[in-house]
A = this chain, B = another copy of it.
Amino acid sequence: MDIKIVDVAAKAGVSPATVSRVLNNNSNVTSKTKDRVMQVIHELGYQPNAAAKNLRSQKTMAIGVIVPEINNSYYAEVIKGIENQAYALKYKVIICDTSNNKEKELEFINLLMNKTVDCMILVTPMMSDDEICHWADLDYSIGIVGRYIEHDKIPCVYTDNVKFSKEVVNHLVEQGHREIAFLSGYADAIDSYERLEGYLKGLREHHIPFRPEWIENGNFNKQGGYEALKRLVEKQVKFTAIYAANDEMALGIYQACGELGIKIPEQLAVIGVDNNRVSRYITPQLSTVNQPKNKMGGAIVDRLIDQLESGEMTENRVIILESQLIVRDSSRNPALP
């Protein structure tokens, strides 16, 4: 049915080898035969069979990407960056959405690494460092977005959670707050841990004694944020500001405050992380931290492909990109000038 390289070869009066050479490296082919072959290729609309090509050349020109939720805007933006750079480098992108399911994640990794893709990008906050190192030890070519991994062979691109979390605390203190609650995400996600760490360091830098009742968990989703705030209020915890480990939970906080009649930012300052689309449109506008998501995606692709094609470790294994505190109404003290 389909047209094969032998068909092209026959019609052009050359051998399949020559056709292949025309299509690939082009080394040592007369421009006359080259033209003739190209002519036939266009006439017949020939396209090389990818499966055969992959098998023989041991390359697929494909990158696998594993994300927890493709419809979450953070991951969608990272993927966008990956897509763009992959396209520029002539790679295809296979996306695997794990729905936050770790089983699925492992399954995908196994599925893809058998010559389905040349390398993989993990954008997963759930998997442990050890597990990730394990894959790399098996000579799987992988890159990580959003966290740091201590392993020679694994390029990482991320923003410094600890650093920006300290900045968040700093900002809240500047606005006059001394009682600052923290709303964490999944307990086993690396981001939760690091943002908590930054929060604690921030408190310490301002000599604010930490109180355990300030910390609640909201599992990174809106419902979790809503419930967490209600718990805090019910337990009569005293706090004038709250740092949510992502914007999604901050939305839940807004909802709970609405129901409880708590005014933002007058009675409670709120700040999130992610710079979700919604954060700019909600009232009052939500302060947040913006991460260069597109750039992170692009950078990891660059690094991985470079490593893949050069066959050796790239110079800058670890790339830390700057994130940016975006102060909006939800955390601004109206009493200050």
Q: What 1/0 flags go to A55-74 for Cβ under 8 Å of B?
A: 10010101000000111010
Closest to A107 in B: B87
| A50 partner, pick from B79, B116, B277, beta carbons under 8 A | B116
A60 neighbours in B (Cβ, 8 Å): 51
The answer to whether B97 touches A47 (Cβ under 8 A) is no
Give min CB distance, A260 to chain B, whole Å: 18
> What interface size band does chain A fall in?
35 or more
Tell whether, in the assembled complex, residue B47 and residue A51 are in contact, meaning their CB atoms are under 8 Å apart. no
Q: A1-B139, A110-B47 are in contact. Are A281 and B251 (CB under 8 A)?
A: yes
Chain B CB within 10 Å, residue with most, of A1, A93, A281, A282: A281
Contact with A277, one of B83, B110, B278, B283 (Cβ below 8 angstroms): B278
A1: chain B residues within 8 A (beta carbon): 139
Bound state CA distance, A1 and B114, in angstroms?
12
- Find residues 92-117 in chain A having any chain B CB closer than 8 Å to their own CB: 92-97, 99, 104, 110-116
Q: Is A336 an interface residue (CB 8 A)?
A: no
CB distance from A208 to the nearest CB of B (A): 32
Shortest Cβ distance from residue A38 to the other chain B in the assembled complex, whole angstroms: 16
Say yes or no: is A76 at the interface (Cβ < 8 Å to chain B). Answer: yes
Q: How far is the CB of A324 from chain B (nearest CB, A)?
A: 19
Find out whether the CB atom of B62 lies under 8 angstroms from the CB atom of A70. Answer: no
Q: Mark A113-134, 1 if CB is under 8 A from B, else 0.
A: 1111000000000000000000
CB contacts (< 8 Å) of A99 on chain B: these are 84
Across the interface, which residues of B come within 8 angstroms of A251, CB to CB? 281
Using Cβ atoms and an 8 Å threshold, which residues of chain B touch A49? Answer: 55, 114-115
The verdict on A20 contacting chain B, using a C-beta distance below 8 Å, is: no
Residues of A within 8 A of B (CB): 1-2, 47-52, 54-55, 58, 60, 62, 69-71, 73, 76-77, 79-80, 83-84, 87, 92-97, 99, 104, 110-116, 139, 251, 276-278, 281-283
17 pairs, CB–CB < 8 Å, chain A vs chain B: A47-B113, A49-B115, A50-B115, A51-B51, A51-B55, A51-B58, A52-B55, A69-B80, A70-B83, A71-B79, A73-B277, A79-B97, A87-B97, A94-B94, A95-B95, A276-B277, A282-B282
